[in-house]
Structures are given as structure tokens and as C-alpha cells.
Amino acid sequence: MSAKDDDSGRRIMQILEQNPTKNPSDYSDQDIDLMRRVVSYCKRHLAQEERSKQDTSSKSYRSLKNWGHDSLKE
């Protein structure tokens, strides 16, 4: 995992903690930009989700988890 991914993951957690009610007006422009990048990133990687479910040691599985998505979670 790169330092940039690690920083983004921490920032995502801050966003979620600062706005637990998910009120859209409480998000900053930077928050929205990061959330859009996360959604885009996860969407691309979810195309490989079946493979990542089969191999939890794969780079794809670990990367999705770093961005807050667990493909094994129901």
C-alpha cells in the first residue's frame, strides 16, 4: 500500500466520523472530491471482485479493503 492510499484511507475515516448523519450540506468540496475518487476507484476494482473473493491475499482484495470495501462482507 502506498503512503497516498494510507492518507486517503485516514481522510475517509475522518469524513465519516465528522459527519455521522451523512448530511450532504456538511461536506466540504474537498470531501466530495475525495469521495468521488473513492467511488470511481472502487468501481474499477469491483469488476475484479469475484477474483478478490477467491484470493484474499491478492493485491486487488487488499486495495479495496484499504479504500473501505470488503468484498467478503455480506
Query: What is the tens place of the pLDDT at every residue in 8-60?
Result: 788 888 999 999 999 999 999 999 999 998 888 778 777 776 766 777 787 77
- Confidence (pTM): 0.60
Non-local CB neighbours of 37 within 8 Å, separated by 6+ positions: 8
pLDDT band at 4 (very low <50, low <70, confident <90, very high): low
Q: Return d(Cα 41, Cα 19) in angstroms, integer.
A: 22
Residue owning grid cell 474537498: 30
Vertex 74: Cα angle to 2 and 35 (nearest 5): 40
Per-residue pLDDT at 30? 95
Per-residue pLDDT at 1? 45
The per-residue b/e assignment along 8-27, b for 16 or more CB within 10 angstroms, e otherwise, is bbeebeebeeeeeeeeeeeb
